[in-house]
Amino acid sequence: MLKKLSRYYHTLKHLKLIQIRYQIWYRLRNKFFPVKYPINIKGKDFQKITLEPFPRQYTHYNAECSFRFLNLEKAFESEVDWNYSEHGKLWAYHLNYFDYLHQDRMDWQTGKKLIDSFLEYPQERFEGLEPYPISIRTVNWIKFLAQNDQYPQEIIDTLYAQYVVLSKKLEYHLLGNHILENGFSLLFGAVFFQDEKLLQLTRKILKTELEEQVLKDGGHFELSPMYHLIILQRALDGYNLLKNNKHELVDIEEKLKQVIQRMVNWLVKLVFKSGDIPMFNDSTGDQALKANEIIKYAEQLGFKPQEIKLSDSGYRKFEFGDFELAIDVGNVGPTYQPGHAHSDTLNFVLYYIGVPVFVDRGISTYEKNKVRDEERCTASHNTVMINNTEQSDVWGGFRVGRRAQAATLKDSDNYYEAAHTGYEYLGIKHSRKWVFGENSLTIEDTISPVANYADSFLHFHPDINVQKLEEGLYQVGKLHLKFDGYIDSELSDYEYCQGFNKMKTAKKLTVSFRKSLKMTISE
C-alpha cells in the first residue's frame, strides 16, 4: 500500500492545476451535460484556400472498404464501421483521421465517397468525435478540398459542426501534443471559415503552446523524435496555409516561422546520414513520415537548415570516423505529461558506415499491457539497471512516477560524460562517459558506491550478426566489442520493433558488473 501511494504521489504531483480542473469538469459534464453534435448547420460561409504541394502520406486505404493501420488489416463488407474497435482504440483513431486522403493515387471520387460514408450519421461516430481525431481529420478534409478545388456544401457544414464540438472539448486535461493538435486544427478552421471565435481560440492555444512545447534547441518537449516529425509536419502545414491565404494571424505566422526553423535545425542535427532517426522514447517505424521528406517540405517553404549545438532537449549527436552516435541524456518530459517517456537515461544508438548496429528497441503497441510496460522499461534500452530497479518508475501505459534527472558533467568534441539521479534514493549514483577515437568508441560506466549488482544492456539491430569469440570479446557485424571489469555476460533474443504490431527477433547482450564497466567498440 505504501509503495502504491508513493507511486501515485510522484505521478500526480507534477500535474498542472488546469489538467486537474478539466479532468474533473469533463467527467462531470460527460455524465450530466454531454456535448451534442449540431445537426442543423446549413449553408456555412467559407473561403477557398490555396496550398503549396505537401508530402503524400503512407498508403492505408487498400481497396473498397479495406484499410491497413498499425500493420493490422480490416476489410469491411459493404459499409465502413467508423466505430470499429476490435483492433484497439489507436486503430479506430487512425480510421477516423482520414490521412489516407493524401496517399498516392487517391482521387476525388474515392476520397469523397469515404467522406460521404462518414457524413451519413456523423453524430454516431463516437471514436471520430473525440477531440484528437477531430483535430487531425478536419485538417485532412480541408487540405483535400483545397487540393481538388472542390467544396461541396454538405462537407463544409459538417466541418463547421465538428469545430463546434472541438471548441467545447479542447484537451486541456491532457495538454502536450494533444492540445497542440487542437490548436493546429483550429488554425485551419479559423482561416477556412474566417471565424472570429475559432481565430481567438487559435491564438490563445498556439501562442502559448508553441512557446512552451518547442525547446530552445528546437526539440519538441515530449522528446520523441517520431512526434517531433509529426508536429513539425503539422507546423509546416499551418505555415503553408498562412503563407498562401488571407488571414488575421500575422503574429501566429511569425511564431511558426521561428519555431519551425528551430525544429528543422534540431532534426537535421539528430538524423543519421541514412535518413533514420534514433527511436528514443515512444518512436517506431511507419508512423511519422521519413525525416528527409519533412526536411524537403521545409526547404520548399523556405526553411534552410542551420548548424546548431544540441542543448536543452538532452540529446547529443557525434560523428567520428565511420561512426555516428546519438545519446539520450534527456529528462522525462514534459513533467506534467510524460506519457511518451521511457526509463532510458544514458541510452545510446550507434551506426557504423551508415548501418544501425546498437539500436533502441522502439515500441510496438500503445495498449496498456505487459508488452508496453516491457518496451518502456530500463532493460529495453542501451543503459544500466542497478539492483534490478527501474531508473524511472514507468507504469500504467502512459504514466511515470519517481523519475531520474540527468545532468551533463563534461561535453567536448571527443568526450562526453553524464550522470543521473535515478538511484539516489538507494544511495547510489550512476555515471557514464563516451570517449571517441578515430575508429573506436569507449563507454565507461561507474557505480558509486559499489552496487550489489548492475546490468548493462545492449540491443543489436536484427541484421547484425553477434558472435562470442572468447571471454569478454564479441564479433558484432564488422566491429569488435570488448569488456573490462565485468562479472558475467549473456547473449539472448529480444523483439525489435519495426512498427506497431510488427517485430523481428534480434540479439541482446546483458553484461553484469558491480563497480565499473568498460566497453570498447572498434573496427
Confidence of residue 406 (pLDDT cuts 50, 70, 90): very high
Both 68 and 181 in a single domain?
yes
The pLDDT, as a whole number, for residue 427 is: 95
- Would the pLDDT of 498 be above 80? yes
Domain assignment present for residue 413? The answer is: yes
Closest of 138, 150, 159 to residue 110, by C-alpha: 150
With a CB cutoff of 8 Å and minimum separation 6, the contacts of 212 are: 221
Backbone angles phi, psi at 316, to 5 degrees: -135, 150
Digit-coded pLDDT (tens) for 273-293: 999 999 999 999 999 999 999
Residue with cell 522499461: 377
Backbone region of residue 396 per phi and psi (left: phi > 0; alpha: psi in -120 to 50; beta: other values): left
CATH code of the domain in which 322 resides: 2.70.98.70
pLDDT in tens, 476-496: 999 999 999 999 999 999 999
Residue 59 lies in a domain: yes
Number of domains in the chain: 4
In a shared domain, residues 366 and 446 = yes
Residue 261 pLDDT exceeds 80 = yes
202 located within any domain: no
Same domain membership, residue 71 and residue 15: no
Are 228 and 323 members of one domain? no
The whole-number average pLDDT for the span 71-80 is 95
Residues 388 and 493 in one domain: yes
**Are 310 and 299 in contact, with CB atoms under 8 Å apart?**
no
Q: Lowest mean pLDDT: which of 133-137, 210-214, 438-442?
A: 438-442
Same domain flag for 91 and 122: yes
How many residues are listed for the chain in this entry? 523
Handedness of CA 277, 278, 279, 282 (dihedral sign): negative
- Examine residue 208 and state whether it is found in any structural domain, yes or no: no
The answer to whether the beta carbons of residues 520 and 508 sit under 8 Å apart is: no
Query: Does one domain contain both 175 and 243?
Result: no
Residues 219 and 337 in one domain: no
Same domain for 500 and 354: yes
Could you tell me how many helices (H) and strands (E) the chain has, helices first?
12, 21
The reported pLDDT for the residue numbered 413 is 84
Q: Give mean pLDDT, residues 187-199.
A: 98
Domain that holds residue 267: 214-305
Tell me whether residue 205 is in a domain: no
- Is there a domain that residue 163 lies in? yes
pLDDT at 3: 80
Instruction: For residue 207, tell me if it sits in a domain.
Output: no
Identify the domain boundary among 305, 339, 371: 305
Question: Among 401, 404, 403, which Cα is nearest to 8's?
Answer: 401
Same-domain pairing of 228 and 337: no
Q: Give the confidence band of 229 by pLDDT, cuts at 50, 70, 90.
A: very high
Model pTM score: 0.97
Same domain, 290 and 332: no
Whether residues 112 and 2 share a domain: the answer is no
